[in-house]
Structures are given as C-alpha cells and as structure tokens.
C-alpha cells in the first residue's frame, strides 16, 4: 500500500495561559501556540486537513491574542511549503467546524469537504457556550455548495491509508484524521488534543462539551496512533514531516 506524506502547515498563533489547555495545570505560564493544519499526499491525491481563520479582525473579538501573518493564510502557506495551488487540492477534511479549523474551506474550489454530519448540524445550532467559536459565513451555502460537502456518520475510509475516526468531546462531532505513513499511523487530531501533554499525560484539553467523551477519545487515539499532530503543539514547526510519538 502506498504510504502518505503529511506536512504541518502553520496558519496562525494564539497567546494563551497554559492551564487553559491542560485542565488548570501550569496556571500563569503564557504560551504562544500555533494553529496547525496539514497537507497530505499519497503521490496522487492532495488533501488538506483544516483550513484556518477566515477573517482575523472578526475573530480577534473572540480571541484578542489571535494572530495570522500574511504568509500564514492557508492558501499562501500551502503554496509556499508544499507547492500546491488551491485549485489542485482534491479533498478538504475538517476535524471540527470552529472558526480556526474551517475558515478558508471555500478557497479550495475543486475540493470535496469531509466533516461528521453531527458536527455540521451542531455548527448551525450550537450550545450557547460554543456559539462564538463557530463561523457560519465560512460554511453556509453562500460559501460552499451543498454538493461539495460529504457528510460522514462515524468511522469512514476516504482512500486507502486515509481514515476518519470520531473523537468527540471537544465538540459533539469532532473527528481525528488517520494517515498510514512510513512512521506508522499518524493522527491529525484537531483540538481533542491541543498539546502533546493531553494525549501522553491524559490531560483534558480546552473547550470541552463532554469530559467523559474527551478521555474516551484520547484513549482511542492512543490505541491506534503511533504519532500525532495535535491542534496547537508548539514543539512542531511548519513544514515538519515527522511528528511526536504517542505513548500507549
């Protein structure tokens, strides 16, 4: 089976207190964490996982210490780092639909967009505590045609070596993306795992809709993944193709 090559793509940063990402541990330690997306190829298909922020100024109202440099806008970063133009991308996958993960789906005009159906439904009717994290102008019918979406219900194999696995808890419909790579199964986790400490030290991440589901999802990732690209891990660099190991 052909192996996938996955490359980290940084699409911004957020300044946060560490304790907000590790369930109160490290209070007072201020971190500038990256926002991670990924570009992946099997030599034939071009896949993007998550697409960053649509409008920096709009979402500074949600997160004042959010920053996106001009060369971190995803279509710019992808072309700079892996050499792909937006119209060459075949598939966009959203781990979930918070504003920093789906904001620029619409620039990939020839791509089909994969998301859990429960996440899409939740985005249009979110819990009150989560309303501010969703960006409907990035995913509504004016932005993306209904016929470009592929709604998934549960575990789903898109292509050989590329599989979606539900990992709820951060949001109702959060999913992780697994790639078969030369280093084993790589999990691109989105925000069910913000930092390596969440998965390897079993610490609850930020913005939780169901704490019990979080820990079940982290255990699921540990069961299957050899390595991981967490949603905001600062030890990773943009353009990396090797990722931290998951401790079983």
Enter the DSSP assignment of 195: S
Domains identified in the chain, total number: 1
Instruction: Give residue 62's pLDDT.
Output: 86
Instruction: Give residue 216's pLDDT.
Output: 98
CB-side neighbour CA atoms (13 Å) of 237: 2
Instruction: Give residue 235's pLDDT.
Output: 97
Q: Give a yes or no: residue 41 inside a domain.
A: yes
Residue 142 reports pLDDT greater than 80 = yes
Residue 2 reports pLDDT greater than 90 = no
Instruction: Give residue 248's pLDDT.
Output: 80
Q: Give a yes or no: residue 155 inside a domain.
A: yes
pLDDT tens string 27-82: 999 999 999 999 999 999 999 999 999 999 999 988 999 999 999 999 999 999 99
Q: What is the residue range of 41's domain?
A: 5-230
CATH number at residue 190: 3.60.15.10
Q: Give a yes or no: residue 117 inside a domain.
A: yes
Mean local confidence (pLDDT), 132-159: 98
Q: Give a yes or no: residue 243 inside a domain.
A: no
Q: Give a yes or no: residue 137 inside a domain.
A: yes
Instruction: Give residue 11's pLDDT.
Output: 98
pLDDT tens string 189-217: 999 999 999 999 999 998 999 999 999 99
Cβ pair 189, 231 in contact under 8 A: yes
Q: Give a yes or no: residue 39 inside a domain.
A: yes
Spatial separation of the C-alpha atoms in residues 139 and 150, rounded to whole Å: 13
Give the three-class secondary structure for 165. strand
Give the three-class secondary structure for 31. strand
Taking all residues of the chain, what is their mean pLDDT, rounded to a whole number?
97
According to DSSP H, which parts of 125-241 are helical? Answer: 196-200, 211-224
Among residues 95, 77, 116, the alpha carbon closest in space to that of 237 is found at 77
Q: Give a yes or no: residue 248 inside a domain.
A: no
Q: Give a yes or no: residue 235 inside a domain.
A: no
Global pTM exceeds 0.85: yes
Residue 185 reports pLDDT greater than 80 = yes
């Amino acid at each position: 089976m052909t192996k996938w090559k996955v490359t980290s793509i940084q699409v911004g940063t957020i300044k946060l207190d560490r304790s907000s990402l590790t369930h109160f541990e490290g209070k007072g330690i201020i971190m500038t964490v990256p926002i991670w997306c990924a570009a992946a190829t099997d030599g034939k298909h071009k896949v993007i996982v998550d697409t960053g922020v649509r409008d920096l100024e709009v979402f500074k109202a949600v997160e004042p210490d959010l920053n996106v440099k001009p060369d971190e806008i995803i279509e710019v970063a992808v072309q700079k780092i892996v050499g792909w133009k937006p119209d060459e991308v075949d598939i966009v996958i959203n781990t979930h639909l918070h504003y920093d993960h789906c904001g620029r789906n619409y620039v990939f005009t020839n791509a089909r967009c994969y998301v859990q159906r429960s996440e899409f439904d939740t985005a249009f009717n979110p819990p009150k505590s989560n309303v501010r994290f969703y960006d409907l102008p990035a995913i509504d019918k004016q932005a993306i045609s209904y016929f470009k979406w592929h709604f998934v219900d549960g575990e789903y194999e898109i292509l050989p070596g590329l599989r979606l696995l539900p990992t709820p808890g951060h949001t109702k419909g959060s999913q992780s993306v697994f790639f078969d790579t030369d280093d084993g199964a790589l999990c691109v986790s989105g925000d069910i795992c913000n930092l390596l400490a969440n998965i390897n030290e079993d610490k609850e991440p930020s913005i939780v809709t169901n704490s019990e589901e979080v820990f079940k999802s982290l255990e699921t990732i540990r069961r299957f993944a050899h390595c991981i690209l967490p949603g905001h891990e600062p030890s990773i660099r943009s353009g990396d193709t090797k990722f931290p190991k998951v401790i079983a």
